[in-house]
Chain A
Amino acid sequence: MKTILEYPNGIHKAVPHDVYHGRHLGLVSKTAIEQVDRSPAHYRAWVDAVGDDEAGRHTPAKHFGGAWHCSLLEPERFARTYVVEPNHGDLRTKAAKAARDEWRAAHEGMTYVSDDDMAAMTAMTAAVRANPLAARMLEDGEPELTVLWNDPETGLRCKTRTDYYVRNRRMAVDLKSADDASYEAFRRSAAKFGYHTTDALYRAGFGAAGERIDHYVFVVVEKSPPHGVALYSLHADDIQKGHAHVVDATLKLSECMRNDAWPAYPVTIQTLVLPPWAA
């Protein structure tokens, strides 16, 4: 199986998830930037964790989000790779455990989703389809496009992957499943998970590939009834901050690569100041 580095620069369809998520020294991605932010040493340890089963380390929220993305954007792949696992009863009993093991053996290689999760995903998809703006956004585009390019400043290879790209609208859609899709809750999530950095990285990648993203829209859907749908687009000032973050992290990584030096935390005694909320 070829690695992501063997793909040429540009936009690629249907790059297998395992290939896309492969870790390679010097390859810039949103996750790589998060690791570099912590420290170059943490980034290096993350890259070197050979055989680390990234899928296996997914949180239940990520597992749910991945399954929902697939069911909404790639229903054929969903039918091929996912299966709804029935309720086997009380798993503290031998009979239920045996029933589960037998069922899983019969569905080896498939990814399981519980019937409760499947019901939630179906309702969330219906909520998206019922939203006039969100429904139109998910028309005439392509899911899961992988973009590869070289950073113009450092020459480092970069990658990103969109949920859905509508070329004729120059629009990328980022689907998010959430417990709370309200403005306040989502902007906290955007800050916590660095969505402004993701936005800037997408725009840079598509720009390098000769395309352009005018609109990068988050379609946020609540996992519980009434499955509220909210649409958000980041302010230009925050995209600028995201761009600055990408530039800084890429330069830092490039310097580490050039010197083959991967420091962790500063070798100094830092004065600790409590966060504002504790003061």
Chain B
Amino acid sequence: MANDTASTALAAAEDPSKSISAFSSQSNFVAAQRMARALAESSLVPVAYQNNIPNVLIAIELSARVAASVFAVMQNLDIIHGTPSWRAKFLIATVNACGRFTSLRWRFVGVEGTDSWGCRAVAKEIATGEECLGPLVTIAMAKSEGWATKSGSKWKTMPELMLCYRSAAFWTRLFAPELSLGMSTSDEMSDISEQAPLPTLPASLVPGSTKDLEAELLGKERPAAATAVTLEMPPLDVHPDTGEVVPPEAAQ
């Protein structure tokens, strides 16, 4: 059930100590800000991050905490009615790649097509071999909670996938809440919200950079610092081979 792309992205960032924690020091913040500026100018990142350096900075910080690539975090972090939330497939990939548990699996109960149908997520803790059995999620629960009766609900069209996603979210909340950083999944947020989720903005409707337009209209190069947060910071030393920022105290 885990998404291959998300797993690959997680595997690529095996060592969280090598990621930049944007808010841990002044030098890391400046380095992260430079990265954020470059990413925010890319048209390949989701709309919520385009020309939005603060959002990218938060994504960089989260990527350090969950040991995933920034790009994977941006692709899998949705803002549902103003609240950041993980896509369920990404959360499952995070559990699978964390190294503390075996990959998540599901045990189904009841009769398919009836309200009794449901499943539990299950994995073993590698260190102890102990089985970690998650809470049961059933169609009856989805109906009584009102998840399955909302307009446009995926519970109506793909109930098996939603059972797996919801049981995985519950499992993570019980056995490894540190992996989700306390955030819910996108489908949970959509289910509990009074409002229907907004449809994804088609790529053809995504606006361009207004700063680029201004520069174009005025016939000049766009100033490099036009969208950056300006801070009084000392210049950074960057390792010539790795591109890693060397803290000032280490460079001396």
Q: Which residues of A contact B (CB under 8 A)?
A: 132-133, 136-137, 169-171, 200, 203-204, 207, 212, 214-217, 233-234, 236-237, 239-241, 243-244, 247
**Chain B: interface residue total (CB-CB under 8 A):** 19
Q: Is the CB of A136 within 8 A of B218?
A: yes
Is B208 on the interface with A (CB-CB < 8 A)?
yes
A137 — which chain B residues lie within 8 A by C-beta? 217
Chain B residues with CB under 8 Å of chain A are 47-48, 50, 198-202, 204-208, 210, 213-214, 216-218
B213, A236: Cβ atoms closer than 8 Å: no
With a CB–CB cut-off of 8 A, which chain A residues contact B47?
Answer: 236-237, 240
B199 touches A244 (CB 8 A): yes
Distance in angstroms from A157 CB to nearest chain B CB is 19
A203 touches B213 (CB 8 A): no
Q: Are A207 and B218 in contact (CB under 8 A)?
A: no
Let me know if B214 and A241 touch, CB within 8 A: no
Residues of B within 8 Å of A133, CB to CB, are 214, 217-218
B207 touching A243, Cβ below 8 Å:
no
Minimum CB–CB distance from A139 to chain B (whole Å) comes to 9
With a cutoff of 8 Å between Cβ atoms, the chain A residues found around residue B204 in the complex are 203-204, 207, 212
Q: How far is the CA of A135 from the CA of B60 in the complex (A)?
A: 40
Inter-chain contact B199/A239, CB cutoff 8 Å: no
Q: Tell me which of B198, B202, B210, B217 contacts A207 (CB under 8 A).
A: B202
The contact sample of 18 A-B pairs, CB cut-off 8 A, is A132-B217, A133-B217, A169-B216, A203-B204, A204-B204, A207-B202, A215-B210, A217-B210, A236-B47, A236-B48, A236-B201, A236-B207, A239-B201, A239-B207, A240-B47, A240-B198, A240-B201, A243-B198
List chain A residues, Cβ under 8 A from B216. 169
Closest B residue to A234 by beta carbon equals B207
Residue of B whose beta carbon sits closest to that of A170: B208
Q: Is B217 within 8 A of A233, CB to CB? A: no
Cβ contacts under 8 Å, A237 to chain B? 47-48
Q: Is the CB of A236 within 8 A of B206?
A: yes
Report the bound CA distance from A223 to B48 in whole Å.
Answer: 35
Q: Which of B198, B205, B217 contacts A203 (CB 8 A)?
A: B205
Q: State how many angstroms separate the Cβ of A49 from the closest Cβ of chain B.
A: 31
Q: Are B205 and A207 in touch, CB under 8 angstroms? A: yes
> Contact: A247 with B207, CB < 8 Å?
no
Q: State whether B202 touches A215 (Cβ < 8 A).
A: no
Smallest CB–CB gap between A229 and chain B, Å?
14
Closest chain B residue to A238, Cβ basis: B207
Kindly provide the distance from the CB of B205 to the nearest chain A CB, expressed in whole angstroms: 4
Q: Give the 7 A-B CB pairs with smallest separation, nearest first.
A: A214-B208, A207-B204, A136-B217, A203-B205, A240-B201, A244-B198, A236-B47
